[in-house]
Structure 1
Amino acid sequence: MKENKPRIKLYIACSLDGFIAREDGSIDWLTKYENNPETDYGYSEFYGSIGTVLMGRKTYEQVLEFGDWPYGEKKAYVFTRQNEPLRREKNVEFVSGDVGEFARRLKENTEEDIWLVGGSQLIKVFLEENLVEDMIVFVVPIILGSGIPLFDRIGKEIKLRIINTERYESGLVRLEYIVRG
């Protein structure tokens, strides 16, 4: 059994000007970095370290548009305020209610780290509730000019300690932080 408590980790890419998607939710500007023959940007190692993925409804619907469900056997929780049924993938559970309470309970009842996939509104709630412990942010060498911000008016200061940086030939920069409580 793992001695360390599981951690909630934000692992995400954004444009240099801080957007995770275009206004319409499109992430077409990221596709040139997928399936890179030289590197997977540490994704395989990260993915192997987590047992659960968390995402908002809009992010879930965006992921479904990509084709095959990419999270395989991982347990996935989709936060939604809507009652209408969504297409349900294997190991996906829809959650409504108090996000913070749910996340704290989940953390107590799991042994592996938890990936906060997105989107922006869910990230905001997790940061407001002091639930994000680690951030791995990939800065993509593009300025979108507008879109869905990574950090949308969180309303408080959050201090970070950088623990690693990595620059890739593609121009991506990986920034790894621990959130200081």
Structure 2
Amino acid sequence: MRIKTHLGVSVDGFISSADGRPALLSVPTFDSGVSHGHPEFIADCGAVVMGRNTFEPAVGASHWPWPDLQVFVLTSRPLPAGTPSHVVSAAKPAELLDLMRKADFEGDVHLVGGQQTVAAFRGIGALDVLGVVTLPILLGGGTCLTTAASDPQHLRLESTRTFPDGAVEHIYSVAAPIG
């Protein structure tokens, strides 16, 4: 089991706009679940992990976004009403990682979500693959991929590909921290 991301990042380094909208949603050609290599990326995943802010909108959505995947949520609060019974949560990333390792699913784990969840799993050395899709857009502000206090991290480029809209996917394996 590897934990891996596939995040959209604007050319100026933002994963979401100033109003919290994911950078991918700012690209006119974006088609959820179809664009920018998502089908190939998710094909090897048996689970998803995310923070509460990413999870909550799914509970009230018209369709469940992860019908065939085990779902894990990093949160210190109880899950909202209407959460499917198979969703697993924990308050600490190490505890959630342990639950993921013990769970009955095959494949990798897609780390869906934002800066805090990526930082939480990086912080315990559990992020294995950083997939970044650099989007042909400048947002001018918003949320960066990492926090200002993040430790430097060596990455090893595994692959690169370009999409018809000009987006470029870089897949990195996470190497040893710098220092």
Global fold match (TM > 0.5): yes
Q: 2-side partners of 1:119 and 1:64: how far apart?
A: 18
How many pairs does the alignment contain? 173
Question: In the alignment, which of 68, 87, 103 is matched to residue 63 of structure 2?
Answer: 68
1:141 CA displacement: 0.9
1:22 CA displacement: 1.8
Give the alignment's Cα RMSD to 1 decimal: 2.4
Query: Do the aligned partners of 1:55 and 1:118 also contact (CA within 8 Å) in 2?
Result: yes
Q: Which residue of 1 aligns with 2:96?
A: 102
Q: 2-side partners of 1:74 and 1:56: how far apart?
A: 16
Q: Which residue of 1 aligns with 2:174?
A: 179
Q: Which residue of 2 aligns with 1:33?
A: 30
Q: Percent identity?
A: 28
Question: In the alignment, which of 140, 163, 168 is matched to residue 163 of structure 2?
Answer: 168
Instruction: Look up the equivalent residue of 1:29 and give its one-letter code.
Output: S
Q: Structure 1 runs of 4+ off > 2 angstroms?
A: 39-42, 61-67, 81-87, 89-93, 107-111
Instruction: Look up the equivalent residue of 1:106 and give its one-letter code.
Output: M
| Partner SS for 2:83 | coil
- Deviations 1:35-87, CA, capped at 9 Å, x for gaps: 69xx7432222212111100011111344576422211211111122246343
- Report the TM-score, using the length of structure 1 for normalisation: 0.83
Q: Which residue of 2 aligns with 1:3?
A: none
Instruction: Look up the equivalent residue of 2:45 and give its one-letter code.
Output: I
2:113 matched to 1:118? yes
Change (3 A) 1:125 1:176: same
Change (3 A) 1:85 1:145: same
Instruction: List runs of 5+ in structure 1 lacking aligned partners.
Output: 1-5
2:48 matched to 1:48? no
Stretch moving more, 10-19 or 51-60: 10-19
- Deviations 1:145-181, CA, capped at 9 Å, x for gaps: 1112211235311100001111112011100101113
- Deviations 1:120-154, CA, capped at 9 Å, x for gaps: 11111111111101111101111111112211235
- Report the TM-score, using the length of structure 2 for normalisation: 0.84
